[in-house]
Chains A and B, each alone.
Chain A
């Protein structure tokens, strides 16, 4: 295939999805007209009597273990939002935010107990945080049972709102849905490497890795003709010795490797893969390489790797000229923590501000401190200008949606770690890669693992050789 053909094919993908490549892509989303996108009434004075009692927030995230790489930035994002809101006098100018943190690494059962304890003995008003997809499906039903307003910032499995909490009332989630992650990596890979046919995969052996593998292969199979999965590796979460997996992948001679390994595991993986020459022998598409602290990845990380961020956010994008909100957020975050934010920082920060916006809107309507029902009504269908771009919370499934992004790694001057090559960033309108509101959930006329998988299978055109 010559260069012109590749160009043509690339244009084909982009047209199909309304996706764009390069830093100019931002703003392509057709969502800005959706209800709820009116600007926040930040300036309006609170109505009625507001108690001065603090608002108690529970936040469970990874504070220890390899996943601290994601949890740490999330905690930092939450604290930044909390401090900013408290500096303005608190919510509605009266109620300061107090947060109780707990370590998600304690395990699912302990997290469930901790949520109960937070609600029953600490009397929290709001629950936030949670990184692992293994935990949100356990915590979601408990949050509904306890009637505690919950804004998960991650734990993005489709299963949460497809199956575990199919009709959420109190539970919301801010970051993009998980199936979007594998699909975004597939569109990124197909855009940059349309010749790839032999696919190898290495995924952590739990729900996240399974979801990434399934949706990546499904989407890539629709985008590129005749792909073939030649090798699958399923290391356990927390693996640090990847040499046997790497040798196995090399032995299958793939053109493209899809990597869902994340956190500290990914750092150990890329260090070993580098010395085994893996990056010289194949293209590599990851879903979470740039998902932790940005500075966790060294300058020795190869350039030209599709460096995923859970399809959410990396701090140089949206660019300062097009989205000053991000520039200002990154500056404040860097001033507070002396590091750059990750997508979890944005998620946790946005979750708290989303709550603030809903409280303010509800107060304008009903006066006084609004009941949870009123806050929920304002969260459903809410739009929010987050650092990562325009976020829309769907009313039917309480899931936040924003344009999905990914890009190729590159060492740019000014940073001690690799960032995205601005020319390589792929932006995809989220509606192009997620099932629409009316689409049947698993068990309602189909038995795919997610609504998204069924929707992709039935509606995406198949690329021809």
Chain B
């Protein structure tokens, strides 16, 4: 029984991470029409910045401060990535909106390669960690099996982020502008909306989510070269199932992918990836735009 409970929690934690990444990916596509291949690298960047700042702060802070104070640094990793995103959008991406999709795929794929190398150049090949944060929250006993409280807290962060994003998109003025631009860019521009600014902010917000995912993952795992490439593949499976451009789709897709992954790992691991791609293929066959995608 405790195994089931822990596996469900494992699955939810992974779903929270996948959702944050896939939601950003979906948001950027929904508003800007760009499939951002480099999105996983922003996730990796969030992980590296967080690990680096936690290590730096742990050395600089007075010993009297509890290690839990370092939690303040988690959003910092996300904000740093958002700022980088805000800088990249006007400099690089803006030149490609009018071009066919192949160009956008190529330029974001190039960005992925540049970011991967930049990470290695700045932080080297050795994994970076921030395990102190996990240890500072201690362990929970579930039927005699330890479970890190940190993971539980981060499932909470995932839920809060999902609610916050929903409220932001559907309950604020900026959200209205965002959705208007997503629906019809030219009409929005004609009505006096600064579409360029909306694009920048949407890209920054997407990067913030990816950075946040990296920030919450790094204390429990590690910042590792290539982590962004690994996760981007699964994130694409998530958005294919949920529907590219849909936030609800990202949420449901993340839950489905993560649950399916945990179930196959527990019972029949050889088919882990096959099962995920099979589900994605079935969804594409029956609902080509995904579960929550807009009908073409």
Interface residues of A (CB under 8 A from B): 63-69, 71-72, 105, 205, 232-236, 238-241, 243-245, 247-248, 250-251, 264-265, 267-268, 271-272, 274-277, 293, 295-296, 298, 300
21 A/B residue pairs, CB under 8 Å, sorted by A: A63-B120, A64-B225, A65-B225, A65-B226, A67-B226, A71-B125, A205-B270, A241-B14, A241-B221, A243-B10, A244-B261, A245-B265, A250-B145, A251-B3, A265-B224, A267-B222, A271-B129, A276-B145, A276-B148, A293-B126, A295-B126
Chain B residue contacts of A235, Cβ below 8 A: 265, 269
Docked Cα-Cα span, A205 to B145, in Å, equals: 27
**Are A232 and B269 in contact, with the CB atoms below 8 A?**
yes
- Nearest 6 interchain pairs by C-beta: A264-B224, A65-B226, A243-B10, A68-B125, A277-B146, A268-B221
Whether A268 and B226, one on each chain, are in contact in the complex, defined by CB atoms closer than 8 angstroms, is: no
Is B105 in contact with chain A by the CB < 8 A criterion? no
- In the assembled complex, B84 has its CB within 8 A of some CB on chain A: no
Q: A64-B117, A66-B225, A277-B145 known; A272 and B129 CB under 8 Å? A: no
Q: Report the Cα distance A67→B126, complex, angstroms.
A: 10
What residues of chain B lie closer than 8 Å to A234, measured between beta carbons?
269-270, 272
Query: Is A240 touching B227 in the complex (CB atoms < 8 A)?
Result: yes
* Cβ–Cβ contact A68 & B220, under 8 A: no
Q: A105-B226, A275-B139, A293-B125 are in contact. List 6 more A-B contacts (CB 8 A).
A: A65-B226, A240-B222, A240-B231, A243-B14, A272-B221, A277-B139
B146 touches A276 (CB 8 A): yes
Assembly CA distance A57 to B266 (angstroms): 47
Q: Is the CB of B221 within 8 A of A233?
A: no
Chain A residue nearest to B220 (CB atoms) is A272
Is B272 a contact partner of A236 (Cβ separation < 8 A)?
yes
Which parts of B1-51 form the interface with A (CB within 8 Å)? 3, 6-7, 10-11, 13-14, 17
Give the total of B residues in contact with A, Cβ under 8 Å: 44
Chain A nearest CB: distance from B153 CB in Å?
13
Number of A-B contacts defined by CB within 8 Å: 124
User: Are B6 and A264 within 8 A (Cβ)?
Assistant: no
Q: Counting CB contacts under 8 A, is B131 at the interface? A: yes
B229 contacts A238, CB within 8 Å? yes
Chain B residues whose CB sits within 8 angstroms of the CB of A205 once the complex forms: 269-270
Asked whether B222 lies within 8 Å of A244 as measured between CB atoms, the reply is no
Question: Does chain A have a CB within 8 A of B235?
Answer: no
Given the known interface contacts A65-B229, A267-B224, the answer about A244 and B262 at a Cβ–Cβ threshold of 8 Å is yes
Query: Is B220 a contact of A275 with CB atoms below 8 Å?
Result: yes
Q: Which chain A residue has the least Cβ–Cβ distance from B221?
A: A268
Q: Which residues of chain B are within 8 angstroms of A66 by Cβ–Cβ distance? A: 224-227
The verdict on B273 contacting chain A, using a C-beta distance below 8 Å, is yes
Chain B neighbourhood of A105, CB < 8 A: 226
List residues of chain B with CB under 8 Å of any chain A CB: 3, 6-7, 10-11, 13-14, 17, 116-117, 120, 125-127, 129, 131, 134-135, 139, 145-148, 150-151, 217, 220-222, 224-227, 229-231, 261-262, 265-266, 269-270, 272-273
Q: Decide: A296 and B146 in contact? CB cutoff 8 A.
A: no
> Which residues of B are found within 8 Å of A72, using beta-carbon distances?
125
Provide the residues of chain A in CB contact with B134, threshold 8 Å.
275
In the assembly, what is the distance between CA of A295 and CA of B17, in Å?
Answer: 28
- Contact indicator B127/A275 (Cβ below 8 Å): no
Assembly CA distance A260 to B13 (angstroms): 25
Inter-chain contact B3/A64, CB cutoff 8 Å = no
Would B131 and A271 count as touching, CB distance under 8 A?
yes
Q: Which chain B residues lie closer than 8 Å to A293 at the CB level? A: 125-126
B226 touches A243 (CB 8 A): no
Assess whether A276 is in contact with B147, with CB atoms less than 8 Å apart: yes
A264 close to B131 (CB less than 8 A): no
Given contacts A232-B269, A244-B11, A268 and B125 within 8 Å (CB-CB): no
- Collect the chain B residues with CB atoms within 8 Å of residue A68's CB: 120, 125, 225-226
| Nearest CB in chain B to that of A232: its residue | B269
Q: Which single member of B17, B126, B150, B265 contacts A233 (CB below 8 Å)?
A: B265
Shortest C-beta distance, A231 to chain B (Å), equals 10
> In the complex, what residue of chain B is closest to A236 when comparing beta carbons?
B273
With A236-B272, A236-B273, A245-B265 already in contact, the answer to whether A64 and B14 are too (CB < 8 A) is no
Which residues in B have their C-beta under 8 angstroms from that of A64?
Answer: 116-117, 120, 225-226
Instruction: Check A247–B269 contact: CB distance below 8 A.
Output: no
Inter-chain CA distance A234–B150, complex, in Å, is 26
A267 touches B129 (CB 8 A): yes
Q: Across the interface, do B125 and A240 meet the contact criterion of CB distance under 8 Å?
A: no
Q: Min CB distance, B215 to chain A, in Å?
A: 14
Q: Note all chain A residues with C-beta closer than 8 A to B13.
A: 243
Q: Separation in Å of the B223 CB from the closest CB of chain A?
A: 9
List of B residues within 8 angstroms of A276 by Cβ: 145-148
B191 vs chain A, min Cβ distance (A): 44
Instruction: Please indicate the chain A residues that have their CB under 8 angstroms from the CB of B126 in the complex.
Output: 69, 293, 295-296
Which residues from B are CB-within-8-Å of A272? 220-221
Q: A243-B151, A244-B265, A264-B226 are in contact. Are A69 and B7 (CB under 8 A)?
A: no
User: Which residue on chain A has the smallest CB distance to residue B120?
Assistant: A64
Residues of chain B within 8 A of A295, CB atoms compared: 126
